[in-house]
Structure 1
Amino acid sequence: MEETLPGLLAARAERTPRGVALRQKRLGIWQEVSWQEHSARVRAVAADLVGAGLRPGDAVALIGGHRPQWLQAELGIQAAGAVAVPLDERLAPTPLAGLVAQSGARFAVVEGQEQVDKLLAVRARVPALERVFYWDPRGMRAYQAEPWLQPLRALRTDTVTFAQSDRTAPAPGAPRRPSPPSPSPALGRGVAEGRGEGSPALPAINAQDVAAVLFTPGLGGRPRAVRLTHETLIAAARALVEAEGLDARGEFVSFSPADWVGERSFATAAALVAGYTVNLPEEPETVPENIQEIGPRLLVAPPLAWERFAAAVQSRAATSGRLRRALFRWAVAVGARRAERRQTGQPTGWAMQLQAWLADWLICRPVRDHLGLLRVRRAYSAGARLPEETGRFFHAIGVPLRQLYTLTGAGGAVAVQDARGWRALPGVDLHVAADGELCVRAPWLARSCVGETESVLAADGWLHTGDAARVEPDGAVTLLDRLAHLARLADGTAVVPAQIEERLTASPYLRHALVVADGRPYVAALVVLDRMAVSVWAEQRGLTVTAYADLARHPQVRDLVRAAVQVANVGLPPALQVRRAAVLDRELSAEEGELTSLGVARRPVVLDRWAALVEALYGAAAPGEGVEVLTVGEEHAGELVR
């Protein structure tokens, strides 16, 4: 059983029973769960679910926040021989019901009232869902007469307390060390042994059993429900751990969306393989503060999180005094030059080393400490394309940020980016097909999706990723965009939208950009404001507008967007420059399916919902010289205001 996820947990608990498996901040105090406690709780969850009628192979939807109970429910479902289906807790009821139905889930395990209310609202749309279990009883008293709902007693938060560390979280800037393990009073009779009297026997499971169903991001259309076996998840984690030298000292902070394959790989599979501690934030709003307190050695996040970290630092620097602003700009410039030389193998020289040391001592080290990244040894961006400017910023301040290429069908990462390009992990082959599509091959790739009869893999064993790539003269692989997004203007000019979109969103005032070009006479774009950055900008200029729609229609904001587009156009060939842009009058929504859980725009969904606006971009007279920025009128989606 060891080559299953619950088997790895049991083996880890036997080898290092008092080691810290999980740590979460609750009520201002970091509380710890040992490997022994973690394993026992997982077995108790499995026993509860089997006793309630869960059968091997059943799918169980799993919805909730970053809590120890979520991880224990995931492994408990798998220990019962069933299939965990992690879903984004932020989804609105209708899209949530669609994914639950698509997965074929028979049971659901949720955190509490918020998730229960969503499922109750769409109960008629998920007839296969027989029962919903919850672990947080707060607000659930009024639901006690509902037989569809049942508390999962092994995880009830009114009966479970986790081991409390002997100290509160350290003050910012203080030495950060993991707390020593403390015995927990949490485990009651029977649970400590994994089974109480009369508890049902757990089924035997093996590496080929399906452990999880994860949904693809759905960037090109409807998300696919990929079946991942224990073997797939563990083999992908082992390849990563081996290639990157991950070990039990990792101190990982888990805060990315739970339905993302990267989060599942690092928070569950790789944590079990390497043995590092998974730290869980108190609340989504406290993630930056909690990262600062933990001082992790390992951090993985989607590009949006890294962009927000960088924006917070840059915003703070921009509002500081003149001298500090100048020092910040100088230090980042020195750090960027040194990082570039190191990446290209050029010597730095004693003068640059001296400047870099001074810049680090004065600015960069305090910035890393403020972010909680002073101890980080492995930092990764994954799940989407990391803007070059963001990557350069973190390298400049001394954070070793690299990109991972993750695939749902591979159960995790398959390649890591270095200075030369993308490098395959051990056991993985990369190949660029004749049409420019990146293909991946590895012994552990997923084979099937729920509701589909055809194999995920091609007949020759390659997984076609849907991403466009090219092979450089030195053999390195460069990713370009989604293959389906590549476009040609009416005159035949080739357009790679992602490259132009990255230039647009390099502006701190633009959160999203979708380039429109295929078959069109010129390049245009739909853009979404970064509400926070534009609000601060407006306040500094005495503008009294705060609502997003009002900001989007304000003439001065329109000028701000025009300037951002003009900067993005610098260096682009004339045919590829954005001639006309439209500012959407609302933000995109993950709850409504317009964004993935990682904050990436779903192009087909967005372009379909704003189809009239896209046509209006080209329906007016051809743009003149320079850039035209248009905003949506108050009454009609297709009405443009110049």
Structure 2
Amino acid sequence: METFPSLLKQHATQRSNDTAIRMKRYGIWNSYTWQQMASEVDQILCALAANDIKSGDRIAIIGNNVPELYFSIVAAQGLGAVPVPMHADSTPHELKALLKDCDAKIAVLQDQQQVDAIEQAVADLPNLDVAIYLDERGMQSYSTEYFKSYSSFLQQGVAYQQQNPQFASEAMAQVSLDDEAFIVYTSGTSGKCKGALLTHANYVATAAAFISQEEIGTHEEVFAYLPMAYASTLFHVYTLWMMQGFTINCPESNETLLIDMREVGPTLFYGPPHFFKMLHASISSRSASSKSNMLDKSLAELHTKGRSFFSNLLVFNPIKDLYGLSKVTHAYVGGDVLNEDVFQFFKAIGINLKATYGTTESAGCVTVQQPDSANDKSESNVGTALAGVEVKVTADNEIVFKGINAFKGYYNDASETQAVIVDGWVHTGDIGGVVNQQLHVLERSDAISKFANGADFLPKQIENTIKSSPYIKDAFVTGEDKDYISALIIIDGDTVGAWAELRQMQFTGFRDLSTKDEVVELIAEKIKDVNASIERIGGKNCPHIKRFTILNKEFNISVGEMTRTRKIKRDVVASNYAPLIDALYSTTDKYDVVDSTGELVAQLRLQTA
């Protein structure tokens, strides 16, 4: 097996003029060949060495998907240093905590947003020697001693390389499979973020198994749009790219994401549930505004008569083309459970979507659905383990794994490492089971509780079913030690707004829209549908959703209510909304939302389903 730096050298030799990476800047796609990439990586590696970076040092990578950050990752790995990806929109508090935890010596930043965050935290970061920024706009007033431009940093590398022409090649040759390739921080769903140590062998061996099983080619087009700090990005984009030598494409911005994706036409695509949910909601909204109702008719025909030539030609293919999915041959969803209705919708329009299961501690992948299991109608089914990986469920129904993908442990956290790795098995904290050799993921162990009647309360199953509606963006259900379930609902402002406009409803914004009688009735219908199948969804003796309210704002990442992977932090939401939740278990039908000064902000309607 090869390390990431040696894989780069192979591609630079074997496919030197092939496009390695593209990025859209100012409306124009700019490309780097593998040879150009390798040359710049060597310069970055030498610049790191010139700044006294040595094997084992940690290098923070902070920004969105841009070529120079990918190059910096490979360069750090080539020197034996360990890249630590962090989110581009991290707050100063978040960055300070992570940079201190990993003892980063250098940070490579995308633009002024990250520079501002670092500047506010720098006094508490004595080990951070220098921060390199890529985008020089607006940077004239910052300290030139501490903050350096990427261009001047590269000049250091060129000078060092001229004095030591063989240094980069010799350094890369010293990197071994057992060296640490990344420190990847967990999302913090169940507590503080922890830095998982993963080796070159973890990623390369896991990717080799995935590539062999899924028949991933060397000429794929991949759209790199998810944060680089995601474990899934490091596997499904970075590792597969470095293994196969295909092309990755970086969008200009989040605002142009769907336009850029359509221009690229990816063939290999990975997305989290919230991305597919967003696409489904957008497609449903467009369909609802169409007088022909062709999508619903084609889906109905598909279930009764099978796929027809005209449905593909006139409905399904245009939808795929509009959203940049027309060339996709390999599609995967992971990071959480995607509602079965949404999953089957994409299958119906001709996307061969498969569910995957992975954790930060597993190099991003543990299981993948097989062709015979991808048609399983259970949304919890995530398939079978990759070759070289073993998965089982303990007596307490916890999913554990071991094998080629198992991480070394948490950086500077021996106690957490010992708690998670037991007798060689990595404990995931996820509850599930194995049915017909297929792994099923149900819930986080710390999210399971009991209703007053003693039945198990698995909130994720119920929330996912509620969120299958294109009009509902998020849902949070409560019911521990209660006789019934209550729900906090967040509408999808775009789809509900379009729905309201079709009905010529007048509204001034999200807050006003969420209080409209028609919108409340729309959500109540979905709650009614969920209640009709509540025992199938939530398990035997699961009580009904009796009360719900539509919130006047979305859950907030900055105050810790959601992770950046859009997973709800249950303890934070339960605490922040405790008075409202208590009101849902009372007889009152209204709840006043006030600000810190006591001024009324909104009046929520507490509905009985």
Specify which of 136, 147, 150 is matched with residue 149 of structure 1.
147
Is residue 180–residue 198 contact of structure 2 (8 Å, CA) maintained in 1? yes
Distance change >3 Å, CA 127–CA 386, structure 1 → 2: same
Which AA in structure 2 matches 1:50? A
Inter-partner Cα distance in structure 2 for 1:638 and 1:543: 20
* Deviation for aligned residue 1:212: 1.0
In the other structure, the counterpart of 1:592 is 559
Matches of 1:101 and 1:332 in 2, distance apart?
Answer: 53
Q: Hey, what does 1:299 align to over in structure 2?
A: 269
Distance in structure 2 (CA, Å) of the matches to 1:444 and 1:365: 37
Q: Select between 457-466 and 81-90 the one with higher mean Cα deviation.
A: 457-466
| d(CA) in 2 for partners of 1:309, 1:105 | 38
SS in 2 for 1:142: coil
- In the alignment, does 2:530 pair up with 1:568? yes
Q: In the TM superposition, what whole-angstrom CA distance separates every residue of 1:272-308 from its partner, at most 9, and x where no partner exists? A: 1122111111221222112211211101111111111
The residue number in structure 2 matching 1:577 is: 544
1:18-37 C-alpha deviation (Å, 9 max, x unpaired): 11111222233322211111
Residue equivalent to 1:435: 396
- The residue aligned with 2:46 is 47
2:32 aligns with 33
Distance 1:565 1:194 in 2: 65
1:315 corresponds to 2:281: no
CA distance 1:302–1:632, change in 2 (3 Å): farther
Distance, in Å, in 1 between the alignment partners of 2:514 and 2:130 is 45
Q: 1:413 to 1:534 in 2, by over 3 A?
A: same
Q: Secondary structure at the match of 1:13?
A: helix
Corresponding residue of 2:161:
195
Give 3-state SS (helix, strand or coil) of 1:480's partner.
strand
Instruction: Determine the structure 2 residue equivalent to 1:382.
Output: 334
Measured after TM superposition, the shift of residue 425 of structure 1 is 0.9
Aligned 8 A contact 2:487 2:548 in 1: yes
Partner residue, 1:498: 460
TM-score (norm 1): 0.85
Q: Which amino acid aligns with 1:394?
A: F
Residues 62-141 of structure 1: matches in 2 within 5 Å?
A: 62-141=61-140
In the other structure, the counterpart of 2:199 is 229
Q: CA deviation at 1:227?
A: 1.0
C-alpha contact 1:303 1:384 (8 A) present in aligned 2? yes
Gapped runs of 5+ residues in structure 1?
157-187, 339-351
Give the direction of change, closer, same or farther, for the CA distance of 1:75–1:631 in structure 2 (3 Å limit). Answer: farther
Q: Is the 8 A contact 2:580 2:591 kept in 1?
A: no
Q: How does 1:403-552 map to 2 (within 5 A)?
A: 403-417=355-369, 418-420=374-376, 421=381, 422-454=383-415, 455=417, 457-472=420-435, 474-552=436-514
| CA 465–111 in structure 1, closer or farther in 2 if over 3 Å, else same | same
Answer yes or no: is the 8 Å Cα contact 1:210–1:230 preserved in 2: yes
1:359 aligns with 2:311: yes
Task: Output the CA distance in 2 between the equivalents of 1:542 and 1:301.
Answer: 34
- The one-letter code of the counterpart of 2:375 is A
Amino acid at match of 2:552: D
Give the Cα separation in 2 of the matches to 1:298 and 1:85: 25
Separation of aligned partners in 1, 2:282 and 2:604:
33
Q: CA–CA distance in 2 between the matches of 1:277 and 1:91?
A: 28
Retained in 1: the 8 A contact 2:398–2:432?
Answer: yes
Alpha-carbon shift at residue 47 of structure 1 (Å): 0.8
Any idea what SS the aligned residue of 1:513 has? strand
| Deviation readout 1:286-333 (Å, 9 max, x if unpaired) | 22112211211101111111111222222222212x22x1x2111123
Amino acid corresponding to residue 153 of structure 1 in structure 2: S
Instruction: Give the Å deviation of 1:569.
Output: 1.6
1:215 aligned onto 2:215: no
Instruction: Check the 8 A contact 1:382/1:405 in 2, yes or no.
Output: yes
1:180 alignment counterpart = none
1:7 aligns with 2:35: no
Note the C-alpha offset of 1:582. 3.0
**Secondary structure of the residue that 1:413 maps to in structure 2?**
coil
* Aligned counterparts of 1:412 and 1:568: Cα–Cα separation in 2: 32
Measured after TM superposition, the shift of residue 270 of structure 1 is 1.1
Aligned to 1:170: none
Per-residue Cα deviation, 1:196-227 (whole angstroms, up to 9, x for no partner): 34579354322111121111122212121111
**How many angstroms apart in 1 are the aligned matches of 2:124 and 2:554?**
28
Q: Distance in 1 between matches of 2:278 and 2:118?
A: 32
Q: Distance in 1 between matches of 2:563 and 2:300?
A: 34
For 1:194 and 1:364, the matched residues in 2 are separated by: 55
2:162 is paired with a residue of what secondary structure?
coil
SS of corresponding position for 2:22: strand
> Hey, what does 2:578 align to over in structure 1?
611
Report the Cα distance in structure 1 between the residues aligned to 2:450 and 2:331, rounded to whole angstroms.
36
Residues 195-204 or 404-413, more deviating: 195-204
Match 1:245 to one of 215, 220, 243: 215
In 1, Cα distance between the equivalents of 2:41 and 2:591?
53
State the one-letter code of the partner of 1:195: Q
Which of 244, 250, 269 does residue 274 from structure 1 map onto?
244
Deviations 1:139-160 (A, max 9, x none): 11121x442211223777xxxx
Q: Aligned with 1:22: secondary structure?
A: strand
Opposite residue 148 of structure 1, the aligned amino acid is Y
Q: How does 1:172-183 map to 2 (within 5 A)?
A: none
Q: How many residues align?
A: 582
Report SS of the residue matched to 1:33.
Answer: strand
Rounded to whole Å, the distance in 2 between the matches of 1:13 and 1:251 is 18
Distance 1:189 1:70, change over 3 A: closer
Asked whether the equivalents of residues 411 and 446 of structure 1 are also in contact (C-alpha less than 8 Å), the reply is: yes
- Give 3-state SS (helix, strand or coil) of 1:41's partner: helix
Q: SS state of the match for residue 600, structure 1? A: coil
| Whole-angstrom distance in 2 between the partners of 1:386 and 1:119 | 36
Tell me the equivalent position of 1:633. Answer: 593
Give 1:597 shift.
2.1
Question: Take 1:599 and 1:557, find their aligned partners in 2: how far apart are those partners?
Answer: 24
* Cα distance in 2 for residues equivalent to 1:146 and 1:553: 52
| Identity of matched residues, % | 28
Contact 1:504 1:565 in 2 (8 A): yes
Once the two structures are TM-superposed, the CA of residue 396 in structure 1 deviates from its matched residue by 0.8
Flag the 1:264–1:587 CA change in 2: closer, same or farther, 3 A. same
CA distance in 1, matches of 2:469, 2:327: 30
**Alignment partners' CA distance in 2, 1:533 and 1:280:** 27
Q: Cα distance 1:146–1:153, how it changes in 2: closer, same or farther (>3 A)?
A: closer
1:543 positional shift = 4.3
Q: Give the counterpart letter for 1:150 in structure 2.
A: K
Change (3 A) 1:190 1:131: closer
Task: Note the alpha carbon deviations across 1:432-451, whole angstroms, 9 max, x for none.
Answer: 11111111111341121123
- Give the distance between the partners of 1:190 and 1:505, measured in 2 at CA: 51
8 Å Cα contact 1:584-1:632 kept in structure 2: no
Amino acid at match of 2:403: A
How far off is 1:194 after superposition? 9.9
CA contact (8 A) 1:487 1:496 kept: yes
